[in-house]
């Protein structure tokens, strides 16, 4: 019986690790291909000769991209939207989750139900667009003409992340809060010195969710930001893709690199910051989701 268990367990592990390796390679291949295509010659890319490793290696596509002032402008806009958008979203989510975690909050059940309800049902794309237009008019009336602030503030809430933080805050022992209040701590001091330090793994996880969402944001940035000088990187990549796939725009193109190589170079540069930041937050990821996703 013991031998049968050991054999079945060994078979299970072999199958599991094999499937995991295949899945990991499938996730890694698009990035490897993007890097290879970005540094391959025009003939190899246009005639689909690049499969895994680059051919006719050149870095002219990256040089063309780095010499484009609009690229650096869009990169700075993306950094702006990601930093301020993450800070704003994190601030509103922490304050909202802290309030909803308190049983003494008036109409607490209604607010929690309303929060979950927004995850199941939404007004739709058109009402949301009209709501953002109304917000834009309000901003313009008070003198805020930079549309990037509209994207930062109007998209500052995420129900799922608030629920994760709320569940994490509810897991903090009430005795610790009572001890802090006895020592004379205010509500903000309790939040700052008790709840935030004890839930830092969940907060780090939510911060990663917000940062990736803002970094990859495309649709509403394309719709709400009218000034091309304020477009983020994802919108800039899309506009360049439209330009490089237009036969009229590409008439007379005789570079040593393909126009697709520039697009792949843009994609690689847009992924690199996330790849740099993620390893520092990864250790909090599983712990943070478990702490905020399970309600005891």
Judged against a pLDDT cut of 60, whether residue 293 lies above it is answered with: no
Per-residue pLDDT reduced to its tens digit, 21-51: 999 999 889 889 999 988 888 888 888 888 8
On the CB side of 83, CA atoms within 13 Å amount to 7
Task: For residues 169 and 282, give the distance between their C-alpha atoms in angstroms, rounded to a whole number.
Answer: 21
Flag whether 276 is in a domain. Answer: no
Q: How far is CA 219 from CA 77, 216, 232, in A?
A: 15, 10, 11
DSSP-derived secondary structure for 160-193: HHHHHHHHHHHTS-HHHHHHHHHTT--HHHHIII
Tens digits of residue pLDDT in 227-250: 888 889 888 888 888 877 766 666
Identify whether 43 is part of a domain. Answer: no
pTM, whole model, 2 decimals? 0.81
* Overall size of the chain counted in residues: 296
Residue 249 DSSP symbol: T
In a domain, 69, yes or no: no
For residue 199, tell me if it sits in a domain. yes
CB-neighbour burial class of residue 167 (10 A; exposed 0-12, middle 13-18, buried 19+): buried
How far is Cα 48 from Cα 237, in angstroms, rounded to an integer?
21
Q: Round to whole Å and give the CA distance between 17 and 79.
A: 38
pLDDT band at residue 4, thresholds of 50, 70 and 90?
A: low
Average pLDDT of the residues in 267-294: 69
In a domain, 81, yes or no: yes
**Percentage of the chain lying above the pLDDT 90 cut:** 9
- Which residue's structure tokens are 């929060």? 115
CA nearest to 212, candidates 295, 162, 166, 274: 274
Answer yes or no: is 114 within a domain. Answer: yes
Give the chain's mean pLDDT: 83
pLDDT band at 2 (very low <50, low <70, confident <90, very high): low
**Is residue 271 in a domain?**
no
Query: Tokens standing for 261?
Result: 């190589």
Q: Is residue 73's pLDDT more than 50?
A: yes
Q: Which domain holds residue 253?
A: 77-258+281-293
Which CATH number fits the domain that encloses residue 181?
Answer: 1.10.3720.10
Q: Is residue 24 part of a domain?
A: no
The confidence score (pLDDT) of residue 86 equals 92
- For residue 95, which of 211, 26, 187 has the smallest C-alpha distance? 187
Q: Per-residue pLDDT for 143 more than 80?
A: no
pLDDT at 294 over 50: no
- Going from the C-alpha of 291 to that of each of 140, 176, 227, the distances in angstroms are 41, 18, 42
**What confidence score (pLDDT) does residue 283 get?**
66
More confident residue, 199 or 278: 199
Q: Is the alpha carbon torsion for 49, 52, 53, 57 positive or negative?
A: positive
Alpha helices in the chain (DSSP H): 2-38, 42-46, 60-66, 69-100, 108-120, 125-141, 147-154, 159-170, 174-182, 187-190, 196-198, 200-215, 219-224, 233-244, 259-293
Instruction: Say how many domains are in the chain.
Output: 1
The reported pLDDT for the residue numbered 19 is 94
Q: Is the pLDDT of residue 87 over 80?
A: yes
**Model confidence band, residue 148 (pLDDT cutoffs 50, 70, 90):** confident
State the pLDDT confidence band at 125, using cuts at 50, 70 and 90. confident
Percent of the chain with pLDDT over 70: 90
pLDDT band for position 287 (50/70/90)? low
**Model confidence over 210-225: pLDDT tens digits?**
888 888 888 888 888 8
């Amino acid at each position: 019986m013991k031998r049968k268990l050991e054999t079945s367990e060994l078979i299970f592990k072999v199958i599991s690790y094999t499937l995991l390796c295949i899945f990991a390679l499938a996730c890694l291949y698009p990035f490897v291909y993007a890097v290879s295509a970005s540094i391959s010659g025009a003939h190899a890319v246009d005639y689909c000769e690049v499969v895994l490793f680059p051919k006719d290696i050149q870095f002219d596509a990256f040089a063309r991209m780095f010499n484009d002032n609009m690229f650096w402008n869009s990169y700075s806009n993306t950094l702006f939207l990601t930093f301020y958008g993450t800070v704003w979203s994190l601030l509103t989510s922490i304050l909202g989750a802290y309030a909803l975690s308190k049983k003494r909050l008036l109409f607490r059940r209604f607010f929690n139900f309303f929060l979950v309800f927004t995850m199941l049902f939404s007004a739709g794309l058109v009402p949301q667009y009209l709501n953002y237009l109304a917000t834009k008019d309000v901003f313009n009336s008070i003198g805020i003409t930079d549309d990037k602030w509209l994207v930062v503030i109007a998209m500052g809430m995420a129900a799922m992340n608030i629920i994760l933080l709320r569940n994490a805050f509810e897991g903090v022992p009430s005795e610790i809060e009572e001890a802090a209040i006895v020592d004379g701590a205010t509500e903000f001091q309790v939040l700052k010195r008790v709840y935030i330090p004890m839930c830092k793994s969940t907060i780090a996880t939510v911060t990663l969710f917000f940062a990736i969402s803002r970094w990859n944001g495309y649709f509403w940035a394309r719709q709400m930001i009218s000034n091309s000088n304020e477009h983020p990187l994802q919108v800039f990549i899309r506009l360049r893709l439209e330009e490089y796939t237009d036969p009229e725009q590409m008439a007379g193109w005789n570079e040593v690199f393909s126009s697709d190589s520039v697009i792949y170079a843009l994609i690689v540069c847009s992924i690199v910051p996330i790849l740099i930041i993620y390893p520092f937050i990864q250790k909090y990821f599983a712990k943070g989701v478990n702490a905020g996703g399970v309600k005891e």
